[in-house]
Chain A
Amino acid sequence: MKEVYLDNNATTKVDEAVFEEMRPYFCELYGNPSSMHFFGGQVQKKVDEARNRVAVLLGALPEEIIFSACGTESDNTAIRSALEIFPEKRHIITTRVEHPAVLTMCRNLAKRGYRVTELNVDNEGRIDLGELKRAIDDDTVVVSIMYANNETGVIFPIEEIGAIVKEKGALFHTDAVQAVGKIPLNMARSTIDMLSLSGHKLHAPKGIGALYLRKGVPFRPFLVGGHQEKNRRAGTENTASIIALGKACELAANFIEDENTRVRSMRDLLEKELLDLIPNGRINGGKAERLPNTLSIAFEFVEGEAILLLLSEHGICASSGSACTSGSLEPSHVLRAMGVPFTCAHGSIRFSLSRFNTEADIELVIRELPPIIRRLRELSPFGREFLSA
């Protein structure tokens, strides 16, 4: 069965051009970029080129890019570094809807004596800048707030947040894993001190990420050892994947327009049609500013895993904020923080598109999902009450 892949916030297809770019760096050009000989040196040049390409996408300087193994490593590194730079400060600010890469770390730090403020979100998934202003003080060492939410696509007002953070002299980190390649970024004119990105969310392979570190911002490495990445991240470079990430960033710059026009209109069509065809649907974060590719939609009286399994029968790949899909027993922390009504918290489905999707993909979902929801509602005691009412 051919997959109709609508789960791009989970991971993406590696672009063929990206794969071709990295292919020679396994069996042929396998040199170590740190080596003195020509054979390693030519790889070093490609790594430099990749760093430059990432920097161009972010509007940053090449020396501001540190390659890492994943978004999680970048997030962990940024927060740890801030804490080590300012050991006398004990307060961290984040949000209730962060990715676990940030949230789990902050909660662990809270257990070790840090004061952690998790900013609330409203029903649409938006934060209140007033709450941030009230929370931040001279003891605040780092503020880590995601650029865009992975489950709902809701975008936070990052520059406004950054201005508040800068006023208090704290460091500002943002997990931009979902935003890079979808929202134009320009670090040259930004309040962001540190920014995390991940390769496999933008058509590079899994296992490669980067941390943007503003020039002049003090830093302590997480991995120590060799002198790689200017002593900021030890460990032999994942050269092939770094080169792939560079190519993916170059392509992302070309496709950012496409993401915001064609992809957005496919998402909007899917959203409109599903709301029209299925009674009692609800868009999570529908009134907020959102990523162009993400649709989180909740259906009352049905359960998300059952929806996903039935979609999967048609080759459709999506994900769910429901409890049952993750092995946890409660709906996602993001939906709970947003106060999604309990009648539909378990019935949330996330479709996340990419430039590789076509109208035919969307049409398939529009055709197959309404009967699936109807079928599950007929199975469900609550759904039957609703249907007969």
Chain B
Amino acid sequence: MWDYSDKVKEHFLNPRNVGDIKDADAVGEVGSLACGDALKLFIKLDDKKERILNATFQTFGCGSAIASSSALTEMIKGKTLDEALQITNKEIADFLGGLPEEKMHCSVMGQEALEVAIAKFRGVKVELHDHEHAEQGGEIVCKCFGLTDQFLKKVIAANKLHTAEQVTHFTKAGGGCGGCIPRIKEIIAEVLGEKPQEEHKRPGKLTNLRKMQLIQDVLEKEIKPQLWADGGDLELIDIAGNAVQIAFRKACAGCASSGFTAKFVEQKLRDLVSDDISVEEVEE
């Protein structure tokens, strides 16, 4: 069960400002049935068309999506449009006494609907988080939820996100098939001004000593972590020229597919160190 704050529960059970405004000045719609949540925000302005007199919402979604929508409408009432635009998703979450990190995307959805509504009212283009956005020329990063690079960059920067998992919690990106997670990592690196970790590049000609060092390096950094993920392990027994002798440990030892694993190790070493490497499994 989610650890929702009392205020989230309260806004979910007694949501404020539900419904529509017939003569609304601005309407913002984000999300869809397929995505699992959607929000339609209605805004009524004063005569000067500057200050928000009233705001209502309709939300399809989970408890925190409904609470976030309710909070948003309460927060923007009485604010000018420019003031309202300053509201961040974090402020929506804070208003509710915080949201579980996995649910932060609900606060992002609220902030987005507000932006869309105001942009539409002002007749300016908006960086939509929507499938429609492809038409506007952005790069669709997450195909499952139709999310663009601009949108992700904005959320990453605003919330100082460091991991792909956080990006998923805040935007849903990567939460479907997961195919875009490598791209999300690149985008995080771009936004945070970090260079993506350099991948192992295959070197040119090698001395024997350098080759042995490289083999050990690749085994430690590239291969073992993958085996660990499956509960396995290996040990380097010997390196004689291009012949690498390994022994499998843990789940790999006696595993029916260890022959296949040995092939995988060999291919990886050939790719990253040298074409002439052969790998042999030994019993010590």
Contact = CB atoms under 8 A, between A and B. Distances in A.
A binds B: yes
Interface of A: 83-84, 87, 108-109, 111-114, 301-306, 309-310, 313, 322-325, 327-331, 342-343, 346, 378-384
Contact of B254 (A84, A331, A346): A84
Contact of A343 (B20, B29, B33, B59): B33
Residue among B60, B63, B65, B175 facing the most chain A CB atoms (10 A cut-off): B60
B172 interface: yes
B12 A302 contact: no
23 contacts: A83-B257, A84-B256, A108-B230, A112-B255, A113-B264, A303-B61, A304-B62, A305-B62, A309-B9, A322-B36, A324-B36, A329-B168, A329-B172, A330-B144, A346-B33, A379-B18, A379-B58, A379-B59, A379-B66, A381-B29, A381-B60, A383-B60, A384-B20
Majority secondary structure of chain B interface residues (helix, strand, loop or mixed): mixed
B254 A342 contact: no
Majority secondary structure of chain A interface residues (helix, strand, loop or mixed): helix
Interface of B: 9, 12-13, 15, 18, 20, 29, 33-34, 36-40, 58-63, 65-66, 102-103, 144-145, 168, 172, 175-176, 230, 254-257, 260-261, 263-264
A114 B230 CA distance: 14
Contacts of A84: 254, 256
B59 A330 contact: no
Nearest to A341: B33
A301 B60 contact: yes
B102 A306 contact: no
A378 B20 CA distance: 11
A330 B58 contact: no
Contacts of A343: 33
Contact of B60 (A83, A323, A382): A382
A309 B12 contact: yes
Given A303-B61, A323-B36, A380-B60, A113 B260 contact: yes
A225 to B, nearest CB: 15
Contacts of B176: 329-330
A329 B38 CA distance: 14
A53 to B, nearest CB: 34
A114 B257 contact: yes
B172 A379 contact: no
Contacts of A379: 15, 18, 58-60, 66
B234 to A, nearest CB: 13
Contacts of A378: 18
A87 B257 CA distance: 8
Contacts of B62: 303-306, 322, 324-325
B257 A342 contact: no
Contacts of A322: 36, 62
A304 B37 CA distance: 11
Contacts of A113: 257, 260-261, 263-264
Contact of A381 (B59, B102, B145): B59
A333 to B, nearest CB: 12
B175 A328 contact: yes
Contacts of A306: 12, 61-63, 66
Given A309-B12, A378-B18, A381-B58, A112 B257 contact: yes
Given A324-B103, A378-B18, 10 more contacts: A112-B255, A113-B261, A303-B37, A306-B61, A306-B66, A330-B144, A379-B18, A381-B39, A382-B33, A384-B20
Contact of B230 (A112, A301, A310, A383): A112
Contacts of B144: 330
Residue among A84, A112, A325 facing the most chain B CB atoms (10 A cut-off): A112
Contact of A380 (B20, B58, B264): B58
A215 to B, nearest CB: 24
A329 B145 contact: yes
Nearest to B263: A113
Contacts of B65: 303, 324
Contacts of A381: 29, 38-40, 58-60
B59 A380 contact: yes
Given A84-B254, A328-B175, A330-B176, A384 B58 contact: yes
Nearest to B176: A330
B233 to A, nearest CB: 14
B204 to A, nearest CB: 32
Contacts of B29: 381
Contacts of A324: 36-37, 61-63, 65, 103
Contacts of A313: 13
B33 A331 contact: no
A108 B145 CA distance: 26
A301 B34 CA distance: 10
Given A84-B256, A328-B175, A342 B33 contact: yes
B63 A305 contact: yes
A114 B9 CA distance: 47
A328 to B, nearest CB: 7
Nearest to B61: A303
Contacts of A382: 33, 38, 60
A139 to B, nearest CB: 13
Residue among A113, A302, A303, A327 facing the most chain B CB atoms (10 A cut-off): A303
Residue among B12, B62, B145, B264 facing the most chain A CB atoms (10 A cut-off): B62
A313 B14 CA distance: 13
A51 B128 CA distance: 62
B145 to A, nearest CB: 7
Given A84-B254, A112-B257, A383-B60, A330 B37 contact: no
A141 to B, nearest CB: 9
B257 A301 contact: no
A324 B59 CA distance: 14
Contacts of B12: 306, 309
